[in-house]
């Protein structure tokens, strides 16, 4: 991955004529891969084609890491390093997550996250390291030119909140993560 803190996880999948089986999470295996919990909240979202959710993060209180999976459909999932002072500041990692490839994306604390649905619909799961905290929610404009995320949809369907999200440069300093070497965010 071009941003070492972001991890693309490919679980072992056991398939046969009946279907498939795979472990969606095993703490020891994920910690060995650099994905650290503890995980305290699981979320699920359902969306239709071209729906874009993001870019979101929580800062400064309940800082949240996310392990993202698509259990139905296909999404283009994105993690953006928005930690000021980071060697990879402004870099993004995008990956296709689907019910066929079973891949998961680890979005570390201090990174903005978003996804767009590229199938007819998608069911997405987020395993989170901190509970949802409305007072710590930060939204960044999905098409912020400073971050230059490459989305596969030029005209996505957005929530009112995401459509009105500020550009990164317009965020108050207290809403912007600072990079600290050898930290979790």
pLDDT per position as a tens digit, 56-89: 999 999 999 999 999 999 999 999 999 999 999 9
Q: Spot the catalytic one: 91, 102, 113, 126.
A: 126
Write down the pLDDT at residue 22: 86
Write down the pLDDT at residue 1: 52
Token look-up 């046969």 returns 16
pLDDT per position as a tens digit, 117-170: 999 999 999 999 999 999 999 999 999 999 999 999 989 999 999 999 999 999
Token look-up 């809403």 returns 175
Closest CA to 115 of 103, 124, 104: 124
Q: Spot the catalytic one: 56, 91, 102, 113.
A: 56
Domains detected in the chain: 7-11+30-175 (2.60.120.10)
pTM to 2 decimal places: 0.92
Token look-up 């209180």 returns 61
- In this prediction, residue 185 has a pLDDT band, given cuts at 50, 70 and 90, of very low
Work out the mean pLDDT of the chain and round it to a whole number.
94
Write down the pLDDT at residue 26: 87
pLDDT per position as a tens digit, 14-51: 999 998 898 889 888 899 888 988 999 999 999 999 99
Which is higher by pLDDT, 183 or 182? Answer: 182
Write down the pLDDT at residue 52: 98
Look up 48 and say whether it is catalytic.
no
Closest CA to 132 of 84, 54, 66, 52: 66
Look up 30 and say whether it is catalytic.
no
The rounded distance, in Å, linking the Cα atoms of 112 and 53 is 11
Please list the residues that pair with 121 across neighbouring strands: 48
Is the pLDDT at 115 greater than 80? The verdict is: yes
């Amino acid at each position: 991955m071009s941003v070492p803190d972001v991890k693309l996880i490919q679980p072992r999948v056991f398939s046969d004529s009946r279907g498939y089986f795979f472990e969606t999470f095993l703490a020891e295996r994920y910690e060995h891969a650099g994905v650290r919990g503890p995980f305290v909240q699981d979320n699920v979202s359902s969306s239709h084609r071209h729906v874009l959710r993001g870019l979101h993060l929580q800062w400064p209180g309940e800082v949240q890491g996310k392990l993202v999976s698509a259990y139905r459909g296909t999404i283009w999932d994105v993690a953006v390093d928005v930690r000021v002072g980071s060697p990879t500041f402004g870099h993004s990692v995008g990956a296709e997550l689907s019910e066929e490839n079973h891949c998961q994306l680890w979005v570390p604390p201090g990174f903005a996250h978003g996804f767009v649905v590229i199938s007819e619909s998608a069911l997405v799961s987020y395993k989170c390291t901190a509970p949802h905290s409305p007072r710590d929610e930060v939204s960044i404009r999905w098409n912020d030119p400073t971050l230059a995320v490459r989305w596969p949809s030029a005209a996505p369907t957005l929530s009112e909140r995401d459509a009105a999200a500020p550009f990164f440069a317009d965020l108050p300093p207290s809403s912007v993560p600072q990079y600290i070497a050898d930290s979790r965010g």
